[in-house]
Structure 1
Amino acid sequence: MTGNSGFQLRRGGPKVYEASWVHAQMGRAAEDLVATADVVPGDRVIDIGCGTGVVARVAAARTGSAADVTGTDVSAEMVKAAARFAAEAGYPEIAWLECDATAIPLPDAAFDVGLCQQSLQFMPDKPTAMAEMARVIKPGGRLALSVWKTRSPIGAAFSTVLDREFGDGTTAPWDMVYSLGDRDSLHDLAAGAGLKDVHVAFDVKFARHPDSTAFITAAIAGSPIAETMAELPAAEHDRLIQEIVEELADFHDDDGLAVPAECLTLRARK
């Protein structure tokens, strides 16, 4: 995550996120985002708010040169984890930088492509962050970013079960995840940053996992309520996990969990 939003991964941190969300949803979404930016060999690419680095890894595969890819995140823990995961995936040359998205310590016009997957909504100063994204892209360069549009059934299931258990408003801070799901707001931010040829597309990204209980357990372990859940007796913890799974009973196919999430993807040119 990026910025000083306070919305950070908790127990298990990057390892849990990579094993749960990246495996189930964000890896495929990263492929979509990199394709939207039309990344090609020879492009220099920056992944802003890189988290565990899945977008940077996908971009490295597309460019054919990991040394042409840079990932940035405000979290030192995430940057370290991203570097580790990239090395394990065969991309040790990706550059990693700990910095706030509103103050990227890199030169103007250093990159052909800027990418930002599901991070802008967490940045307190979104206009400045967008301006920085535009600044580090070359004239004629491309930007592609994505944000969630609305609360997904997974978010709704968390809210139903956890607010009932721990009190109304327990999951209200998680609404930040969907706080930028407005097409006009994205257009305004892009215009304010001086971007052109702006296009915002609506689509649906699926979270897919063969074991819904394992996925929800991991997702909770990486959530803001992780500590509270970890303090519960095992039987109570498992009961809540199963209640969340039951709330998602309609979102399965023959391969397991299959939950849609509405997404907005912006593409633009410098």
Structure 2
Amino acid sequence: MEEALQRRVQRYGWDKAAQYYETLWQQQLKPAHNSMFALAQISVGEKIIDTACGTGLISFRALEATGVDGYVLGTDISDKMIELCMQVAKMNKSENCRFERMDAELLVAGDGEFDVSLCALGLMYMPNPVRALQEMFRVIKHGGRCVVSVWGKRPHCGWASIFEIVDKRVTSEVCPMFFNLGNDGMLERSMKMAGFSDIVLEKINTHLQYKSAEEACAAAFEGGPVALAYHKFSDVVKKEVCEEYLQSIEAYKHENGYTIPGEFVIGKGSR
């Protein structure tokens, strides 16, 4: 997919997903977030940049860790995601944070401005992940650290069929290289190419829990990476893709809903 088109798909897709994202994904992503914070070891007073911040799940947790003397900048390609973050910051009267719509591959920040760079499950959507990692490298100080997470291998993620199901009904792939960074060695190689050293990797096997077929479909199609395509479908096609998706996850169904396997890969690098 042409890079400018991919950015537009992500920007407007996540605008569509913004209102559903936190409700449907916060608990599902918690294992990855917990691992990231264990590796990041954020200290009081540090300056942090959270790239692809979404609704601020990582940003506000980082803000709490760095305290009143620290600072957090959250960036995302989606206007709606940034709006939600700003609303939460205003509601909580958080003054030592800022949220801006920004391209991850061209961060509007000075060289060596931050102590820590974070990116939770955002690299998979970027046209050039290495370029984004180079930007994360550039904006941290010497001795600073970067912690990122991505989804693991495609066969280890039981919900992966959503891409094939949607791609059959659109003219171009939605996320053509989504699982690439989760393959063996790819995240480490990409971080090395971006300049990072002392790279540490962790893999986490997890399960996504959904109480019903409706909740599983909402997470897959309304609150995630295929939201833009899904919202353009007719009601008939929406019903078709949901039925096809539920067939693909039938093996993970139980009387209380669905328990779908997933995998995260977490990487930490230093400058």
Q: In 2 relative to 1, CA 91–255 (structure 1 residues): closer, same or farther, beyond 3 Å? A: farther
Partner of 2:101: 98
| Structure 1 residue 35: Cα displacement | 2.1
Which of 20, 23, 27 aligns to 2:24? It is: 20
Which of 137, 145, 155 aligns to 2:160? It is: 155
**Contact residue 68 and residue 94 of structure 1 kept, 8 A:** yes
**Secondary structure at 2:50 match in 1:** strand
Of residues 246-255 and 136-145 in structure 1, the stretch that sits farther from structure 2 once superposed is 246-255
Runs of 4+ in 1 over 6 A off after TM superposition: none
Verify: 1:107 aligned to 2:110, yes or no: yes
Q: TM-score, normalised by structure 2?
A: 0.81
**Secondary structure at 2:202 match in 1:** strand
Partner of 2:258: 257
**How many equivalent pairs are there?**
260
Partner of 2:220: 219
Q: Percent identity, please.
A: 25
Matched to 1:77, the amino acid is K
Partner of 1:134: 137
**Contact residue 114 and residue 144 of structure 1 kept, 8 A:** yes
| Structure 1 residue 48: Cα displacement | 0.9
Aligned-residue RMSD, C-alpha? 3.0
Q: Distance in 2 between matches of 1:250 and 1:90?
A: 46
Q: Distance in 2 between matches of 1:198 and 1:254?
A: 42
Matched to 2:179, the amino acid is Y
Q: How does 1:1-270 map to 2 (within 5 A)?
A: 4=4, 5-6=6-7, 7-8=9-10, 9=13, 12-22=16-26, 24-65=27-68, 68-88=71-91, 91=94, 93-151=96-154, 152-156=157-161, 158=162, 172-222=173-223, 223-229=227-233, 231-233=234-236, 237-238=238-239, 240-252=241-253, 256-270=257-271
**Secondary structure at 2:250 match in 1:** coil
Q: In 2 relative to 1, CA 150–89 (structure 1 residues): closer, same or farther, beyond 3 Å? A: farther
Q: In 2 relative to 1, CA 67–252 (structure 1 residues): closer, same or farther, beyond 3 Å? A: farther
Q: TM-score, normalised by structure 1?
A: 0.81
Q: Distance in 2 between matches of 1:11 and 1:47?
A: 18
**Secondary structure at 1:101 match in 2:** coil
Structure 2 unaligned regions, length at least 5: none
Matched to 2:74, the amino acid is G
Q: Distance in 1 between matches of 2:260 and 2:147?
A: 24
Of residues 69-78 and 132-141 in structure 1, the stretch that sits farther from structure 2 once superposed is 69-78
Q: In 2 relative to 1, CA 193–174 (structure 1 residues): closer, same or farther, beyond 3 Å? A: closer
